[in-house]
Amino acid sequence: MIELDNVAYSYGGGELLSGITFDMQPGSFHFLTGPSGSGKTTFLKLCYGALVPTAGHVRLFDRDVRGMTRDDIAMARRRVGVVHQDVQFLDHLPVADNVALPLTVSGRTKIDELANLKELLSWVGLKSRADALPPELSGGERQRAALARAVIMSPDVILADEPTGNVDWEMSQRLLRLLVELNKMGKTIMIATHDLALIRAAKTQVQARVLRIANRQLQLAGADL
């Protein structure tokens, strides 16, 4: 689905990631850990074509990013849902319209799609907040809205960058359960996080591989987590 072959990425004159080879298999569940500034967000951006590696190759669904046009990447991105660390919404639009933005942009505003939107908002526990504006949402509600927006197009892969970084433990558990449910539906999941307690909790619910970025390299984390 997403393959990195001997990938390196340099930023500001220094190499941030080096010699990374990784193959994201369908239906897998991964955690990505590492200290702040180690390159977790950069790694995720490479995985969905927002960045082009300075060396090596990234393939999205069997196509090398280097040979893809902006339109090609935009089409591939429909198969990848991203929950960004810094959640951004259009504050003048209600929650339902913000969640539906990917549908609107792609021209998919049919009745059945709108019915799916209502089901999705109910699934993330925001049915009663559909008409609220983003500034009126709590941190947990914003993160659930971001997750709903990321999966509205029914992507094959969901990449979440610190999705529980600004919420309490109870909300972290709720978000984790939603992501585990998506994985059980066949979706491929990768979560970048500092929260080792969250990873330990996940291991009781799903088979997850834990990856760590250290010294510019991607490593399989030990069993001590």
Do the Cβ atoms of 51 and 42 come closer than 8 Å?
A: yes
- Residue 114 phi/psi, 5-degree rounding, is -70, -35
State residue 150's pLDDT score: 92
d(C-alpha 129, C-alpha 122), whole Å: 10
Q: Rounded mean pLDDT of 219-224?
A: 66
State residue 110's pLDDT score: 56
Q: How many CA atoms lie within 13 A of 159 on its CB side?
A: 21
% of the chain with per-residue pLDDT over 70:
95
Q: Rounded mean pLDDT of 75-90?
A: 90
Do the Cβ atoms of 147 and 155 come closer than 8 Å?
A: no
Residue 177 pLDDT exceeds 80: yes
pLDDT: which is higher, 111 or 98:
98
Q: Rounded mean pLDDT of 82-99?
A: 92
% of the chain with per-residue pLDDT over 90:
60
Q: Rounded mean pLDDT of 195-216?
A: 90
Domain ranges of the chain: 1-79+155-225, 87-154
pTM over 0.85: yes
CB-count exposure of residue 112 (10 Å: 0-12, 13-18, 19+): exposed
d(C-alpha 152, C-alpha 105), whole Å: 12
State residue 44's pLDDT score: 95
Residue 225 pLDDT exceeds 50: no
User: Which of the following CATH numbers is that of domain 1-79+155-225: 3.40.50.300, 1.10.10.10, 3.30.390.10, 3.30.70.120?
Assistant: 3.40.50.300
